A and B are shown apart, each in its own frame.
Chain A
């Protein structure tokens, strides 16, 4: 397993919890009241409940089942059934390495996290799941470039391959550049996390979002046909 994008930073707001999957790894990703992001195995050590169903209180994630509170380091510090008890230090959520960079949350479930640095990626567009292998998604977004925003002179370049990040750079100083970081969920599911350069207007973001729908439809159709 390698470093993978799991969400746009914008889409995980303060005190929010989400679920993300990387291969067999089911994880809960959450942001504390002060903004700290954590990614953990999606399982409360107490009774196995998915922590992505939990709720954030201040700097803690609480499990939906019995309200056990875990701090940003993953340590359980409060068990509501025994309010006076100091929980043993052995009760810990299994935490993964995470980093926030270029408007994207990156996770490595098995080792050190190495986010891809994309200096001009500043405007979040959207994340879109596509029912196809990551290579097909990469190919789809390379070929089906946007008609008006990205001119025929657009250059598609793979700027990273672990994980894959695609840069679509149009020719012309005022044109909008687009970046796509690909999350390899499994061999039949990919999530494309899309950002743009800071000259993208709200209308551009809406247009890019619709374009992403079209690319998904075409890519899923071709992936289906080739099977």
Chain B
């Protein structure tokens, strides 16, 4: 088995939303090139509203856990622990699992795009950005060694409609976290509660190195929008991203410097690529030269 796959096998990935399948219902999917089946179990007692699931990879049952309104699976024999998102236990937030978007791209390119703000005026025109407000001001990026996560802070960007709840343009502040190679968490100014931060996460299920299912998830303060409106807003954004992600060449993410040209605005992605390279997280990446 190659080292990139061996490394990727030890992480947890989402394969379904909690409550997505009815008891007894089954779906077929793929994870890291392996065919999987996801079966919703019949409830042990009648009061259980959402069934647990059983996931089989090549016929054999695998480890499953529930977190952030999704079911997570690890196919490896030395699983790393799943990252935490503290806000997931804050009862006054709205939790919005947004469904799934299949994208014909490397899972790493999907995460990197999520960490990028400079594309907002061009890809999410009139929503997350608009000309002439294109400048990306200096921000801070580091690897937090205590938790081994990439952290980008002090990001500010003008947004015409930062969220479903926003009325008019605001200067939005962003913090990004990359807690696992195929997950990213964003904390951004909440339009309705300026002292709080909305949380938007991207959980990526790698079907193989060049195809992924992306499961966006949000933990917001918004007591006016319906769940459907919140989901539609996020799906609009992500479908705009897909038109980019499926047209990047090469399909796999280059980790060695020199193959693509970054600028100051790309410090988060530079840090992400270095962090992946240092960890040996090469699944979905071009061959790395030491």
Interface residues of A (CB under 8 A from B): 26, 42-43, 45-50, 53, 63-67, 79-83, 85, 90-91
From DSSP, what is the main secondary structure of chain B's interface residues? loop
A26 to B254, CA, bound (A): 19
In the complex, are the beta carbons of B122 and A53 less than 8 A apart? no
Q: How far is the CB of B231 from chain A (nearest CB, A)?
A: 25
Contact B247 A67 (CB under 8 A): no
Q: A79-B263, A81-B135, A82-B265 are in contact. Are A48 and B249 (CB under 8 A)?
A: yes
Contact pick for A65, options B119, B135, B250, CB 8 Å: B119
Contacts of B119 in A (CB 8 A): 65-66
Residues of chain A contacted by B121 (CB below 8 angstroms): 67, 80
Q: Which residue of A lies closest to B134 (CB)?
A: A80
Kindly state the separation between the CA atoms of A53 and B246 in the bound complex, as whole angstroms. Answer: 11
Smallest CB–CB gap between B270 and chain A, Å? Answer: 12
Let me know if B264 is at the binding interface, CB within 8 A.
Answer: yes
**Known: A47-B248, A48-B249, A53-B247. Contact between A83 and B134, CB under 8 A?**
yes
**A-contact bits for B124-137, CB 8 A (1 contact / 0 none):** 00000001001110
A82/B136 contact (C-beta < 8 A), A43-B249, A49-B244, A65-B119 known: yes
Please give me the residue from chain A that is nearest to B112 by CB atom. Answer: A47
Tell me whether B260 and A81 are in contact (CB under 8 A): no
| B side interface size, CB within 8 A | 22
B: which residues have CB within 8 A of A?
Answer: 118-119, 121-123, 131, 134-136, 243-244, 247-250, 254, 260-265
Residues of chain A with a CB closer than 8 A to B136's CB: 81-82
With A47-B260, A82-B265 given, is the CB distance from A66 to B118 under 8 Å? yes
Using A47-B248, A48-B250, A53-B243 as known contacts, say yes or no to A81 and B122 having CB atoms under 8 A apart: no
| Residue from B131, B247, B260 whose CB has the most chain A CB atoms within 10 Å | B247
Q: What B residues does A63 contact at CB under 8 A?
A: 122
In angstroms, Cα B134 to Cα A67, docked, is: 9
Complex interface: chain B residues within 8 A of A85 (CB): 263
Do residues B250 and A66 form an inter-chain contact, with CB atoms below 8 A? Answer: no
- What residue of chain B has the Cβ atom nearest to residue A76's Cβ? B261
User: Which residues on the A side are within 8 Å of B254 (C-beta)?
Assistant: 48
A80 pairs with B244, CB closer than 8 A: no
What distance in Å separates the Cβ of A182 from its nearest Cβ neighbour in chain B? 26
Given contacts A81-B118, A81-B264, A85-B263, 10 further A-B contacts (CB under 8 A): A45-B261, A46-B263, A48-B260, A50-B247, A53-B247, A64-B123, A67-B121, A81-B263, A82-B135, A91-B261
CB closest chain-B residue, reference A67 = B122
Question: Would you mind naming 13 contact pairs between A and B with Cβ atoms under 8 Å apart?
Answer: A26-B249, A45-B261, A47-B248, A48-B250, A48-B260, A49-B247, A63-B122, A65-B119, A65-B123, A67-B131, A80-B121, A81-B118, A82-B135
- A53 to B, closest residue via Cβ: B247
A-side interface mostly: loop
Instruction: Using CB atoms, name the residue of chain A closest to B253.
Output: A48
> CA of A82 to CA of B247 in the docked complex: distance in angstroms?
24
B39 → A minimal CB distance (Å) = 39
A-chain residues with CB within 8 Å of residue B262 when the two chains form the complex: 46
A65 to B245, CA, bound (A): 10
Q: Which of A43, A50, A81, A90 lies in contact with B265, CB distance below 8 A?
A: A81
In the complex the two chains form, is A82's CB within 8 Å of B264's CB?
yes
Residues of B within 8 A of A48 (CB): 248-250, 254, 260
The 9 A-B residue pairs whose C-beta atoms are closest, nearest first, are A80-B134, A81-B265, A81-B118, A81-B136, A50-B247, A48-B248, A67-B122, A48-B249, A66-B118
Contact B260 A45 (CB under 8 A): yes
Residues of B within 8 A of A42 (CB): 249
Contacts A65-B119, A65-B123; A80 near B131 (Cβ below 8 A): yes
Chain B's nearest CB lies how many Å from the CB of A55? 9
CB distance from B7 to the nearest CB of A (A): 24
Tell whether, in the assembled complex, residue B118 and residue A50 are in contact, meaning their CB atoms are under 8 Å apart.
no
Residue of B nearest to A79 (CB): B263
In the bound complex, CA of A85 to CA of B263 (Å): 10
Our pick among A50, A64, A90 for the contact of B122 (Cβ within 8 Å) is A64
How far is B206's CA from A53's CA once the two chains are assembled, in angstroms? 26
A83: B residues at CB distance < 8 A: 134-135
Residues of A within 8 A of B265 (CB): 66, 81-82
Q: How far is the CA of A48 from the CA of B254 in the complex (A)?
A: 10
Cα–Cα, bound, A45→B247 (Å): 13
Q: Are B249 and A65 in contact (CB under 8 A)?
A: no
